[in-house]
Amino acid sequence: MQVTFLGTGGAVPTTRRNTSALMVRREGERLLFDCGEGTQRQMMRFGTGFSISHVFLSHLHGDHVLGLPGLCQTLDFNDREEALAIHTPPGTKSAVENLVGVTGARPGYPIRVHEVQPGGVALREDEYEVRAFETDHRTRSVGYALVEDDRKGRFDRERAEELGVPAGPLFSKLHEGNPVELDDGTVVDPEQVVGEPRPGRRIVYTGDTRPTAATAEAASDADLLIHEASFAEDRSERAGKTGHSTARQAADLATRADAKRLALTHVSSRYAGESDRLAAEAREVFDDAFLPDDGDDIEIPYPDG
């Protein structure tokens, strides 16, 4: 699973940081989180590919959604046929439909807009789900947690052979969780040869928000928490007033949640050239905090390697 930071800037883009967007690639599937203006060019620059299946919007401020009409048009020029699903906070469906249809052109592929429920599941797939959680901004907003299912425990091949199970289909049967009967009538149970289920990975993206308990809960043990950090600590009052967080607040939350890594994004344009300050403030409380640049991508390994 790979996360690409397409836009790490705040409400106003700078030459170095575009407005918000994040791509997650998992087993060939592409999920886009937020879509600030110019996101499609960032996707080209950083080679993420365009075959996205789902877009998840955190809220409807321009720096998170204005890239949608252009992206949808380009997908149409690319002769896309598959449906595109757009997930958006409660009460914003018709605004998103209007935004996407603003030019009056109808794309040749279906666009389906779904309102998500905080605390609910926005998308359920075979091996993972994307959950929405409540955030606290100046408008209706949500964050998203991509949570993989537990994986099967490790299969102990040696132990299975010791028990007399012949290599082959019976191995898979046991690994799938079914008991098998051997030729001599002995029954081998899966628990004898399969270890404990292994946890999957968890990535959490907040969008714009003040620090919240719901975020800490969603980010509990997360492999990667991507938290907005609009401001440095000297502007904490302003952060609170405008529905944002400071880098240190994000780091406090990552500590509370016991997240493994913290990526700070949505950096205000006022910190152009001195954004290292934000990372330094965060690292005073949380070691594994970093401030990605546009185009950085990181691989998320399984917790047990």
54 is in an annotated binding site: no
Query: Does 59 show up as a binding residue in the annotation?
Result: yes
Rounded to 5 degrees, φ, ψ at 31 are -120, 130
The region of 55-63, 110-118, 191-199, 247-255 touching Zn ion under the rule CB under 5 A is 55-63
Q: Which is nearer to Zn ion, 148 or 208 (CB)?
A: 208
Are 7 and 20 a contacting pair, CB within 8 Å?
Answer: yes
Catalytic (active site) residue 156: no
Q: How far is the CB of 4 from Zn ion (least distance, A)?
A: 18
- Who's near 118: CB < 8 A, 6+ residues apart? 89, 90, 132, 133, 134, 142, 214
- Which of 17, 30, 54, 61 is in the footprint of Zn ion by CB under 5 A? 61
Q: Whole-number minimum distance, CB 148 to Zn ion, in Å?
A: 27
Instruction: Give the residue with the Cβ less far from Zn ion, 18 or 48.
Output: 18
Q: Which is nearer to Zn ion, 208 or 281 (CB)?
A: 208
Instruction: Return the structure tokens found at 163.
Output: 């028990």
Q: Find the shortest distance in angstroms from Cβ 144 to Zn ion.
A: 15
Considering only CA atoms, which of 142, 147, 157, 245 is closest in space to residue 193? 157
Question: Is residue 37 involved in binding Zn ion (CB under 5 A)?
Answer: no
**Could you give the C-alpha distances from 301 to 140, 193, 231, 255, 269, in angstroms and in order?**
33, 25, 30, 20, 32
Give phi and psi for 29, each to the nearest 5.
-90, 145
Q: What angle do CA 90, 231, 267 make, to 5 degrees?
A: 70
Find out whether 244 is annotated in a ligand binding site: no
The span of 54-62, 74-82, 128-136, 175-183 binding Zn ion (CB under 5 A) equals 54-62
Encode 130-179 in three state secondary structure.
EEEEECCCCCCCEEEEEEECCECCCECHHHHHHCCCCCCHHHHHHHCCCC
Token duo for residue 217:
């809960």
Three-class SS state of 289: strand
Q: How far is the CB of 136 from Zn ion (least distance, A)?
A: 11
Task: Tell whether residue 227 is among the known ligand binding residues.
Answer: no
**Interface segment toward Zn ion; rule CB under 5 A; list 87-95, 177-185, 200-208, 209-217:** 200-208
Of the two residues 4 and 19, which places its CB atom closer to Zn ion in the complex? 19
Which listed residue (34, 37, 63, 115) binds Zn ion by CB under 5 A? 63
Angle at 66 between CA 273 and CA 249, to 5 degrees: 45
Contact pattern for Zn ion over residues 204 through 233, marking x by CB under 5 A: ----x-------------------------
C-alpha to C-alpha distance for 187 and 61, rounded to whole angstroms: 61
Catalytic, out of 63, 136, 223, 294: 63
Quote the least distance from Cβ 137 to Zn ion, whole Å. Answer: 5
Residues at the binding site for Zn(2+) are 59, 61, 63-64, 137, 208, 266
Q: Which amino acids are annotated catalytic?
A: 63
Q: Summarize as ranges the residues that interact with Zn ion (CB under 5 A).
A: 61, 63, 208
